[in-house]
Amino acid sequence: MLDFDWNLLLEIDWVEIGEATLDTLTMLGVSMLFTVLAGLPLGVLLFVSAPGQLRARPRLYAVLSFLVNVLRSLPFVILLIVLMPFTLLLVGTSIGVAGAIVPLVVGAVPFFARLVENVLREVDRGVIEASQSMGARLPHIVFKVLLPESLPGLIGAATVTAVALVGYTAMSGVIGGGGLGDLAIRYGYQRFQTEIMIVTVVLLLALVQGLQSAGDSLVRRCRFD
């Protein structure tokens, strides 16, 4: 590492790196979209159905909670492989970028939903009670109280989830998912092309940094003071 030859950088196939970057961004963007679409309602459902909450359904909660825990306890690589038949059924292929998106979403949804549940628990009980005293129905409470009041927390949860997804995409190389992480493993680790590994790691780091600061600045902008 110390006697790293900087000229090697010139020999890197930047087109391949560009494609890998695009793959990573695609996987991240699409899976993040579906994660929020599925995870937010699931998180709300977990919150309202928990014992002692607005629509306490202890049985339903126990089942959902167990499923979430199961999915969260599986290592992502296992999830990738286990889900292959399901992915094939759903999107017509179980490999490549398209094939990676399904396991990414399945892995991230329970993670995000649990974060959402915890964020919603932070909403002041007094405020929920005040809206009940004004005759609010459950949909009112969800859309006019819970979600707006916890917006900064929800954005924070989405940021954490997006960063975790960046990590997951790296593993999708196992099923030929492509992307930067895949590149780092194939060239850097397996073929000892350190320069490619360094470049991809720097790019991944920049991506994570970018996501985090974008999330933080959004949170700052919508804090309520």
Partner 1 sequence: MIEVQNISKHYQHGGKSVAALDNVSLQIASGEIYGIIGRSGAGKSTLIRCLNLLERPDSGHVSLHGEDITRFDERALQQRRQRIGMVFQHFNLLRSRTVAANVRFPLELAGGLSPAQMDARVDELLALVGLQDHKHKRPSQLSGGQKQRVGIARALANHPDLLLCDEATSALDPETTDAILALLADINRQLGLTIVLITHDMRVIRQLCDSVAVLDHGRVVEQGKVLDVFLAPQHAVTQSLLAETGMGQGALQGIWRQRVATPVIKLTFVGEPTLQPVLDKVGREAGLRVNLLSGTLSEIKDTPFGQLLAGVVASDVDVSALPAIFAREGVRCEVL
Binder to partner 1 among 55, 72, 144, 220 (CB under 8 A)?
144
Contact status: 126 vs partner 1 (CB under 8 A): yes
Question: Which stretches of the chain are DSSP H helices?
Answer: 8-11, 14-49, 58-73, 76-82, 84-91, 96-121, 125-133, 138-140, 147-149, 151-171, 180-183, 194-222
Task: Provide, rounded to whole angstroms, the least separation between the CB of residue 82 and partner 1.
Answer: 41
Q: Kindly report the length of the chain.
A: 225
Q: Which of 212, 203, 215, 154 is CA-nearest to residue 25?
A: 203
Binder to partner 1 among 77, 136, 160, 218 (CB under 8 A)?
136
Q: Which is nearer to partner 1, 5 or 225 (CB)?
A: 225
Contact status: 56 vs partner 1 (CB under 8 A): no
Binder to partner 1 among 6, 15, 135, 221 (CB under 8 A)?
135
Contact status: 130 vs partner 1 (CB under 8 A): yes
Place of tokens 């499923």: 67
Token representation of residue 180: 């930067």
Question: Do 119 and 190 meet the contact criterion of CB atoms below 8 Å apart?
Answer: no
Contact status: 221 vs partner 1 (CB under 8 A): no
Contact status: 134 vs partner 1 (CB under 8 A): yes
Give the whole-angstrom CA distance, residue 166 versus residue 164.
5
Q: Which is nearer to partner 1, 3 or 225 (CB)?
A: 225
Binder to partner 1 among 140, 164, 186, 212 (CB under 8 A)?
140
Give the whole-angstrom CA distance, residue 177 versus residue 112.
22
Residues contributing to the site for partner 1 (CB under 8 A): 124, 126-127, 129-137, 140, 144-145, 148-149, 151, 224-225
